Structure 1
């Protein structure tokens, strides 16, 4: 499987599993940002650089195909194991828990101020 087809497959997996939109692998990788683990960001940068180098006749020979296959395999393995729905639910639960905590703090401070002023 050539590099372009593999990167297109990874880009499709990123959209399907993580909900990341964009045109092509490089755009999706940039939009993913820190939602990907550090190792995957590094592998993704390697794959994006290899795609750019492969277009140049002399630089294309410097690309290590074995290293690229390994990087693509690591990326695909991660994306096939990720459950997009679970990530979305976790994000919403964390948001709700954070807001509930903030509201509880505001209520405690309000009750403390009311008690301090002697209104209760």
Structure 2
């Protein structure tokens, strides 16, 4: 028996929550919008294909027009991408980015202070 697109989209919903940290939003479309730039362009495109199929799935005549092969490929690709994401690594990289930004700001401030001291002849 084939599982429905909405059931598989709920699995992707849980993966986006757990792997990408997208906690807000009801439904797949809202979480996809909240994920935004955390997803590569091809994954956002696949997400739009899935969201379109979810809208068509509820209507009996439109459900017959869904390109199942394209939707299955989009579901598989997005699931593969989300499974490869490491939430710990994402948090570690964010902390390192903040530390790097602070260190750069301190370096620039020190260089400016030293330049002013040299310019005034105090050093």
- Normalising by structure 1, report the TM-score: 0.94
Q: Which residue of the other structure, out of 7, 10, 13, is the alignment partner of 1:11?
A: 13
Where do 4+ consecutive residues of structure 1 move more than 6 Å?
none
What's the offset of the Cα at 1:92?
1.2
Give the equivalent residue in structure 2 for 1:45: 48
Where does structure 1 lack aligned partners over 5 or more consecutive residues?
none
Give the whole-Å Cα distance in 2 for the aligned partners of 1:95 and 1:76.
30
CA RMSD of aligned residues (A): 1.1
1:57-76 equivalent positions in 2, closer than 5 A: 57-76=60-79
- Give the aligned partner of residue 80 of structure 2: 77
Instruction: Give the deviation of 1:119 after TM superposition.
Output: 2.5
Partner in structure 1 of residue 27 of structure 2: 24
Partner secondary structure for residue 60 of structure 2: coil
Aligned residues: 120
CA distance in 2, matches of 1:60, 1:100: 55
Q: Distance in 2 between matches of 1:47 and 1:95?
A: 35
Q: How high is the TM-score relative to the length of structure 2?
A: 0.92
Report the CA distance between 1:26 and its aligned residue: 0.9
